[in-house]
């Protein structure tokens, strides 16, 4: 084959050329933590397979003892290479051969020997080769990292470290070196803390001293290596044990730095505000948490209106006096030991004039002139140039780091190179030896080689859906010619991530104005569109300044420009209508939903199609649609769609009208839900409800005339109707109406008229009867019984009740009741009084009350008892009450108790009491068991505005000896009635026995009165004054009345009231119940 002559190739073979085994050049071994040994080498490139065999031996015991230096060269003569140790297994991968020994392999790894002597045997088809290598074992031991590393901050500038050596390295004979490295969080540079040599302790400790900063997070690394390892081999250091720890805190070491002129004065009408600026501490100088700066005015404790931030403090409403302001750095540990001082002069120097800032590449060039005030200019000794990095230029206050440089008084230009990233604000102050003008900031940046600048401060003032208002501030207006107006350039952008204008869309508007104009409005914008806006000012020579930094903003959303388009009905059934449409031509925002209006109903959807369900059949629907963003568009043109026909709805029950004896007319109303045109109606007439096979009668009107009704053909009728629609030739019947039940007999109006008249007259009669009964019962309720003289009470509604005057000399029978018999009263004693559980009523309301009577010997009736005395009597009731005094006299009296105990609630368990009432009944029996009293000749001389209080009487307690009620002996025996009638007479009631409050003269009008002993009604709350009966009363010796057991109750039809019942006993004496 001749490549130059273009000969044709016949065949091609691949030939590999091999050689005899070559020497190994990169044999190396490493012991890891004296736990294992790994040897590696790379097979020289050879195209003939080569076999490798690794063996080794160590020094004999005698050679190790005679060896004085740890040197493994040359190979000892006593090495017997005929008895070498083999490699357990050689593994090869990509020509990389590896042999590994540890305590588990055979042969084992021998960690105590300092020198190993290796022999690598190699053989292939071309020959055999042998390499002998001496390996210094202890130089190539790589320890594991230190264990149990701990760090403890012992002070703001020191940290105590401790760690332990791995177990396998404890007996390592050459020993270890320990290295300590550290760095802090704000400086990524490693510093050597120290190296420990010659220490063979298991646990080591080290104090890291003279650390630079307090309260700083330190990253500490500790590593180890063999003491005999190569000092320049960094790889023989073990991996690091790592700990991070923060040193202890302390107060800041220094206050923030200030300058003689690091203040700014803003003059108001009658005061001034002062800004104090300083250079902030670096983060590593904080020395603790919550670093801040405190500014205080010397000797002015009353001034507390100091607002401090990280970069400056503002003092408001200061006078034009001199102030000394001290500034401290403060953290959680306290104030810095030192302070910085700024003096605000009462009359500062005049500021430098024409201060200009020019930005040239990565540097700023400043220029200025001396103060215009000659006196201030003569006092200037130097100028201070300040610069501050901030996110925005003036007029925003600088919150970043402040730096400065002092230049001589003759300097008029200053250049400073600063990083191009960021915005820098510049200021200047003119200083004397003891005063300063304070800082004056450069208000704008001038671009060199340009006759015009640009507006730096531009912002969005207001945004609407169709306009954007932009505002600006002319910081450099004093450096340019007269302004004639402003030009606003705007355009919609491609997309939020691409702020260039869309092709051919940039527009501008011109606004006439001077330097006082600070805003302009761009109108006619598209809603929900992102715009790019810039502002330029127009000079008097009709030249434009450079455009300001572009502003990006998006107009607000608005209603879609048009209603939904191409509204189309795609399907109509008897109960649904399906629609679809296209979105508006301009949505003007995010389309939220559509509203579909149909016959005063509305539904919303987020898609451009909808199916209106549950519609009425055969009904015309007017449909329109609107699209909505934050506002809704106009509605689309209404479309009228009628649903298809369907079954007619329910019909009302038909009505019937008798024309004559032979004809009746059945009529009905058209169903509300016709479901169609109602082609005809079907009438079903049945004689019985179970007749389902009755033929239907088809009619097209809403009535039907039934003939032959009176001929006996129909006796009883059930008539129902239904409507029928014909849809595509199919008859759709609606449901049957309710059956109308009727008969052929015509309506007999005379008969029903008579019945109705009778019912009306009957109702009128019953109404009259009920009315008379009502009037009668009202008269009965108004009945007022006439009481005996002395019981009248006038003016029941008066607030204060009158006292009752009692005749001081009662008759003999009353004196007997007033006489007390010494006896301890037992519970349950009635003494002729009824139980307290009986109802307490007035004499008028108790005409049907059952009154128990006493049985016993009848006493003669007083002949002087007149008709009024026979109609009135007194009744006493006795129930168990609160404990009574142990000694009582067997007569009716009032307890001497506090007034508070005299008004218990009615619900309280009944106690012992007697009720005195008036009974208007007239006994008809010839000999009733009554004891009449004397004639009632006097009236009770008092009246009351309110219902009178009950008259409380004392207990009727039976003594151990017989007690008697005296009565005149002249009374005939057949007149004895077995009870004591208590009338209100002068002889019967003593003045010291019954007494009421607020006495008033009696009037002629007589009102009913009853007296109740015991519980009082809470609403009445009477006030009583109790007195004991006069002790000088003597008991009569004759004419006694014996008190015995009471007879069984009378029937409910008999009424006895106005008397005091007593129980009589055979022994004619009182005894306990």
What is the domain-level CATH number for residue 714? 2.60.40.10
Residue 595 pLDDT class (50, 70, 90 cuts): very high
pLDDT value of residue 63? 53
Torsion of CA 830, 835, 840, 846, to 10 degrees: -100
Query: Quick one: average pLDDT of 212-230?
Result: 95
Q: What CA–CA distance (Å, rounded) separates 827 from 890?
A: 15
pLDDT value of residue 350? 93
Q: Do 291 and 440 sit in the same domain of this protein?
A: no
pLDDT value of residue 621? 94
Tally Cβ neighbours within 10 Å of residue 535. 24
Q: What CA–CA distance (Å, rounded) separates 1017 from 1010?
A: 13
Q: What CA–CA distance (Å, rounded) separates 671 from 654?
A: 11
The yes-or-no verdict on residue 708 having pLDDT over 50 is yes
Tens-place pLDDT, residues 454-498: 788 899 999 999 999 999 887 655 454 567 889 999 999 988 888
pLDDT value of residue 146? 96
The yes-or-no verdict on residue 561 having pLDDT over 50 is yes
> 970: Cβ–Cβ under 8 A, 6 or more apart, which residues?
860
Most confident of 235-249, 462-476, 822-836, 883-897: 235-249
Residue 905 pLDDT class (50, 70, 90 cuts): very low
pLDDT value of residue 138? 93
Is 760 a member of any domain? no
pLDDT value of residue 309? 81
Tally Cβ neighbours within 10 Å of residue 602. 10
Q: Do 338 and 362 sit in the same domain of this protein?
A: no
> 804: Cβ–Cβ under 8 A, 6 or more apart, which residues?
940, 942, 951, 989, 994, 995, 996, 999
pLDDT value of residue 813? 59
pLDDT value of residue 831? 38
Exposure pattern of 291-319 as b/e (b: 16+ CB <10 Å)? bebbbbbeeeeeeeebebeebbbbbeebe
- Residue 617: its H or E element: none
Tally Cβ neighbours within 10 Å of residue 994. 25
Q: What CA–CA distance (Å, rounded) separates 465 from 423?
A: 34
Token code pair at residue 811 = 């008759």
Token code pair at residue 731 = 């008859």
HEC letters along 466-513: CCEEEEEECCCHHHCCCEEEEEEEEEEEEECCEEEECCCCCEEEEEEC
pLDDT value of residue 335? 94
Is 962 a member of any domain? yes
Measured over the CA atoms of residue 837, residue 842, residue 843 and residue 845, the dihedral's sign is negative
The yes-or-no verdict on residue 848 having pLDDT over 60 is no
Tens-place pLDDT, residues 856-873: 434 444 444 344 444 443
Ordered DSSP codes for 1048-1064: PPPPTT----SSB---B
Among 584, 614, 642, identify where a domain stops: 642
Length of the chain: 1073
Token code pair at residue 174 = 């050459």
Q: Check: CB of residue 720 under 8 Å from CB of residue 684.
A: yes
Q: Check: CB of residue 913 under 8 Å from CB of residue 874.
A: no
Q: Do 136 and 149 sit in the same domain of this protein?
A: no
Is 20 a member of any domain? no
Ordered DSSP codes for 1010-1032: -EE-S---TTT---B---PPPTT
pLDDT value of residue 884? 45
Is 258 a member of any domain? no
> 737: Cβ–Cβ under 8 A, 6 or more apart, which residues?
650, 651, 652, 653, 654, 668, 720, 721, 722
Tens-place pLDDT, residues 126-167: 999 988 889 999 999 999 999 999 999 999 999 999 999 999
Is 982 a member of any domain? yes
Task: Look at 767 and 1043; give whichever has higher pLDDT.
Answer: 767
The yes-or-no verdict on residue 185 having pLDDT over 50 is yes
Is 559 a member of any domain? no
Among 418, 446, 474, identify where a domain stops: 446
From residue 617, give the alpha-carbon distance in Å to each of 147, 671, 986: 90, 13, 100
Q: Phi first, then psi: what are they for 766, rounded to 5°?
A: -65, -35
Residue 1020 pLDDT class (50, 70, 90 cuts): very low
Q: Do 940 and 797 sit in the same domain of this protein?
A: yes
Q: Do 124 and 170 sit in the same domain of this protein?
A: no
The yes-or-no verdict on residue 592 having pLDDT over 70 is yes
Query: Quick one: average pLDDT of 410-419?
Result: 91
pLDDT value of residue 1025? 42
Token code pair at residue 37 = 């040994």
Token code pair at residue 440 = 């004056």
Q: Check: CB of residue 1016 under 8 Å from CB of residue 903.
A: yes
pLDDT value of residue 6? 59
Task: Look at 452 and 936; give whichever has higher pLDDT.
Answer: 452
pLDDT value of residue 414? 93
107: cis peptide before it, omega within 30°? Answer: yes
Q: Do 950 and 1008 sit in the same domain of this protein?
A: yes
The yes-or-no verdict on residue 86 having pLDDT over 80 is yes
Task: Look at 752 and 1033; give whichever has higher pLDDT.
Answer: 752
DSSP-derived letter for residue 248 is P
Which range is least confidently modeled, 185-189, 244-248, 512-516, 937-941?
937-941
Query: Quick one: average pLDDT of 224-250?
Result: 94
The yes-or-no verdict on residue 642 having pLDDT over 60 is yes
Is 78 a member of any domain? yes
Q: Do 570 and 468 sit in the same domain of this protein?
A: no
- The C-alpha angle with vertex 747 and arms to 746 and 748, in degrees rounded to 5, equals 110
List beta partners, residue 723. Answer: 681
Which range is least confidently modeled, 290-304, 307-321, 383-397, 1043-1057?
1043-1057
Tally Cβ neighbours within 10 Å of residue 422. 10
Q: What CA–CA distance (Å, rounded) separates 266 from 352?
A: 16
Measured over the CA atoms of residue 926, residue 931, residue 937 and residue 938, the dihedral's sign is negative
pLDDT value of residue 840? 35
From residue 1008, give the alpha-carbon distance in Å to each of 779, 920, 1059: 16, 11, 16
Tally Cβ neighbours within 10 Å of residue 871. 18
pLDDT value of residue 743? 77
Q: How many domains does the chain have?
A: 8
How many percent of the chain have pLDDT more than 70? 67
Residue 566 pLDDT class (50, 70, 90 cuts): very high
> 43: Cβ–Cβ under 8 A, 6 or more apart, which residues?
24, 50, 52, 92, 95, 97
List beta partners, residue 29. Answer: 39
Ordered DSSP codes for 534-603: EEEEEETTS-BPBPPPPEEEEPPP---SSPPEEEEEEEE-SS-EEEEEE--S---S---EEEEEETTEEE
Residue 669 pLDDT class (50, 70, 90 cuts): very high
Q: What CA–CA distance (Å, rounded) separates 883 from 824?
A: 11
Query: Quick one: average pLDDT of 542-563?
Result: 90
Q: Check: CB of residue 854 under 8 Å from CB of residue 1061.
A: yes
The yes-or-no verdict on residue 4 having pLDDT over 80 is no
Quickly list H helices, 248-345: none
The yes-or-no verdict on residue 180 having pLDDT over 60 is yes
Query: Quick one: average pLDDT of 797-812?
Result: 50
The yes-or-no verdict on residue 197 having pLDDT over 70 is yes
Task: Look at 545 and 100; give whichever has higher pLDDT.
Answer: 100
The yes-or-no verdict on residue 747 having pLDDT over 90 is no
- Residue 376: its H or E element: helix 374-379
Q: Radius of gyration of the chain from Cα atoms?
A: 64
pLDDT value of residue 902? 36
Residue 212 pLDDT class (50, 70, 90 cuts): very high
DSSP-derived letter for residue 169 is G
Q: What CA–CA distance (Å, rounded) separates 226 from 140?
A: 8
Domain of residue 673, residue span: 655-747
pLDDT value of residue 816? 58
Average per-residue pLDDT for the chain: 76
The yes-or-no verdict on residue 325 having pLDDT over 70 is yes
- Residue 899: its H or E element: none
Q: Do 229 and 151 sit in the same domain of this protein?
A: yes
The yes-or-no verdict on residue 1018 having pLDDT over 60 is no
Residue 79 pLDDT class (50, 70, 90 cuts): low
Is 704 a member of any domain? yes
**Burial class, 656, CB count within 10 angstroms (exposed 0-12 / middle 13-18 / buried 19+):** middle
Q: Do 849 and 981 sit in the same domain of this protein?
A: yes
Q: What CA–CA distance (Å, rounded) separates 306 from 276?
A: 10
pLDDT value of residue 807? 52
Q: Do 845 and 966 sit in the same domain of this protein?
A: yes
- Residue 818: its H or E element: helix 812-818
> 310: Cβ–Cβ under 8 A, 6 or more apart, which residues?
280, 292, 293, 399
Which pairing describes strands 141-142 and 28-32: parallel, antiparallel, or unpaired? Answer: parallel
Q: Do 380 and 516 sit in the same domain of this protein?
A: no
Q: Do 229 and 329 sit in the same domain of this protein?
A: no
Q: What CA–CA distance (Å, rounded) separates 198 from 174?
A: 9
Q: What CA–CA distance (Å, rounded) separates 323 from 302?
A: 13
The yes-or-no verdict on residue 343 having pLDDT over 80 is yes
pLDDT value of residue 749? 63
pLDDT value of residue 277? 94
How many percent of the chain have pLDDT more than 90? 44
pLDDT value of residue 482? 64
Which range is least confidently modeled, 12-21, 344-353, 474-483, 786-795?
474-483
Among 344, 369, 393, identify where a domain stops: 344
């Amino acid at each position: 084959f001749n490549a130059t002559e273009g000969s044709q190739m016949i065949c091609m073979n691949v030939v590999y050329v091999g050689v005899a085994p070559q020497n190994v050049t990169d044999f190396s071994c490493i012991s890891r933590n004296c736990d294992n040994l790994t040897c590696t080498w790379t097979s020289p490139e050879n195209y003939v397979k080569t076999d490798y065999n690794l063996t080794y031996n160590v020094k004999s015991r005698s050679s190790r003892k005679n060896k004085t230096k740890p040197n493994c060269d040359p190979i000892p003569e006593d090495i017997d290479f005929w008895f070498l140790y083999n490699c357990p297994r050689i593994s090869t991968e990509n020509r990389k051969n590896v042999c590994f020994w540890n305590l588990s392999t055979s042969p084992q790894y021998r960690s105590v020997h300092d020198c190993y002597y290796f022999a690598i045997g190699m053989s292939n088809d071309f020959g055999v080769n042998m390499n002998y290598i001496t390996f210094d074992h202890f130089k190539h031991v790589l320890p594991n990292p230190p264990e149990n590393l701990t760090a403890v901050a012992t002070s703001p500038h020191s940290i105590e470290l401790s760690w332990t050596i791995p177990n396998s390295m404890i007996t390592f004979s050459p020993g270890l070196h320990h290295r300590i490295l550290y760095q802090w969080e704000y400086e990524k540079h490693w510093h050597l803390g120290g190296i420990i040599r010659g220490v063979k302790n298991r646990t080591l400790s080290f104090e890291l001293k003279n650390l630079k900063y307090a309260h700083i997070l330190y990253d500490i690394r500790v590593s180890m290596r063999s003491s005999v390892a190569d000092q320049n081999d960094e790889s023989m250091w073990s991996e690091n044990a790592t700990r991070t720890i923060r040193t202890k805190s302390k107060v800041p070491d220094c206050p923030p730095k200030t300058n003689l002129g690091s203040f700014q004065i803003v003059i108001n009408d009658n005061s001034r505000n002062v800004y104090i600026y300083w250079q902030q501490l670096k983060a590593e100088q904080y020395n603790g948490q919550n670093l801040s700066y405190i500014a205080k005015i010397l000797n002015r404790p009353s001034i507390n209106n100091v607002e401090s931030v990280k970069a400056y403090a503002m003092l408001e409403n200061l006078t034009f006096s001199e102030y000394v302001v001290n500034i401290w750095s403060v953290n959680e540990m306290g104030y810095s030991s030192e302070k910085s001082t700024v003096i605000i002069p009462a009359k500062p120097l005049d500021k430098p004039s024409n201060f200009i800032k020019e930005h040239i590449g990565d540097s700023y060039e400043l220029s200025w002139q001396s103060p215009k005030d000659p006196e201030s200019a003569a006092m200037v000794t130097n100028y201070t140039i300040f610069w501050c990095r901030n996110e925005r230029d003036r007029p925003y206050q600088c919150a970043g780091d402040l730096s400065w440089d002092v230049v001589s008084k003759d300097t008029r230009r200053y250049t400073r190179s600063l990083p191009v990233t960021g915005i820098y604000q510049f200021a200047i102050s003119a200083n004397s030896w003891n005063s300063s003008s304070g800082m004056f900031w450069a208000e704008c940046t001038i671009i060199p080689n340009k006759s015009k600048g640009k507006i730096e401060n531009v912002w969005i003032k207001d945004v609407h859906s169709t306009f954007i208002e932009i505002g600006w501030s002319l910081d450099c207006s004093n450096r340019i010619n007269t302004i004639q107006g402003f030009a606003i350039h705007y355009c919609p952008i491609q997309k939020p991530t691409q702020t260039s204008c869309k092709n051919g869309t940039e527009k501008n508007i011109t606004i006439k104005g001077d330097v006082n104009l600070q805003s302009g409005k761009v109108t006619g914008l598209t809603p929900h569109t992102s715009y790019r806006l810039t502002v330029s000012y127009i000079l008097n020579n009709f030249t434009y300044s450079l455009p300001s930094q572009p502003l990006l903003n998006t107009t607000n959303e608005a209603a879609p420009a048009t209603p939904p388009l191409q509204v189309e009905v795609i399907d109509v059934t008897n109960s649904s209508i399906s629609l679809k449409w296209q979105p508006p031509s301009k949505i003007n925002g995010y389309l939220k939903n559509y509203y579909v209006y149909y016959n005063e109903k509305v539904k919303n959807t987020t898609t451009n199609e909808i199916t209106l369900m549950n519609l009425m059949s055969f009904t015309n629907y007017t449909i329109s649609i609107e699209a909505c963003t934050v506002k809704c568009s106009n509605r689309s043109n209404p479309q009228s769609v009628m649903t298809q026909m369907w079954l007619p709805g329910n019909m009302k029950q038909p009505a019937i009208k008798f024309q004559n004896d032979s004809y009746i007319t059945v009529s009905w109303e058209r169903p509300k839900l016709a479901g169609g045109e109602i082609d005809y109606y079907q009438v079903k007439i049945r004689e019985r409800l179970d007749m389902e096979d009755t033929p239907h009668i088809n009619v097209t009107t809403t009535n039907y005339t039934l003939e032959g009704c009176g001929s006996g053909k129909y006796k009883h009728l059930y008539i129902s109707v239904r409507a029928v629609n014909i849809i595509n030739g199919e008859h759709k019947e609606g449901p049957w109406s309710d059956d109308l039940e009727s008969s052929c007999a015509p309506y007999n109006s005379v008969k029903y008229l008579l019945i109705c008249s009778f019912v009306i007259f009957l109702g009128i009669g019953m109404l009259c009867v009920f009315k008379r009964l009502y009037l009668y019962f009202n008269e009965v309720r108004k009945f007022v019984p006439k009481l005996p003289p002395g019981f009248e009470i006038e003016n029941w509604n008066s607030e204060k009740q009158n006292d009752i005057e009692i005749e001081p000399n009662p008759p003999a029978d009353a004196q007997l009741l007033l006489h007390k018999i010494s006896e301890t009263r037992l519970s349950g004693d009635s003494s002729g009084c009824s139980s307290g559980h009986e109802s307490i009523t007035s004499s008028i309301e108790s005409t049907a009350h059952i009154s128990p009577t006493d049985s016993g010997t009848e006493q003669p009736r007083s002949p002087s008892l007149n008709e009024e005395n026979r109609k009135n009597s007194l009744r006493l009731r006795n129930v168990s009450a609160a404990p009574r005094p142990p000694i009582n006299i067997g007569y009716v009296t009032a307890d001497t108790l506090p007034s508070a105990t005299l008004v218990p609630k009615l619900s309280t368990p009944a106690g012992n009491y007697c009720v005195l009432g008036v009974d208007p009944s007239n006994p008809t029996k010839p000999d009733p068991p009554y004891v009449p009293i004397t004639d009632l000749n006097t009236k009770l001389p008092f009246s009351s505005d309110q219902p009178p209080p009950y008259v409380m009487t004392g207990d009727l307690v039976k003594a151990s000896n017989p007690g008697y009620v005296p009565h005149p002996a002249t009374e005939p025996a057949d007149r004895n009635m077995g009870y004591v009638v208590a009338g209100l007479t002068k002889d019967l009631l003593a003045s010291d026995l019954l007494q009421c409050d607020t006495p008033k003269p009696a009037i002629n009008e007589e009102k009913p009165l009853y007296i109740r002993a015991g519980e009082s009604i809470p609403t009445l709350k009477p006030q009583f004054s109790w007195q004991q009966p006069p002790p000088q009363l003597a008991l009569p010796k004759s004419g006694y009345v014996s008190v015995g057991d009471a007879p069984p109750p009378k029937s409910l039809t008999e009424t006895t009231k106005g008397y005091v019942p007593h129980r009589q006993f055979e022994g004619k004496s009182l005894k306990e119940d």
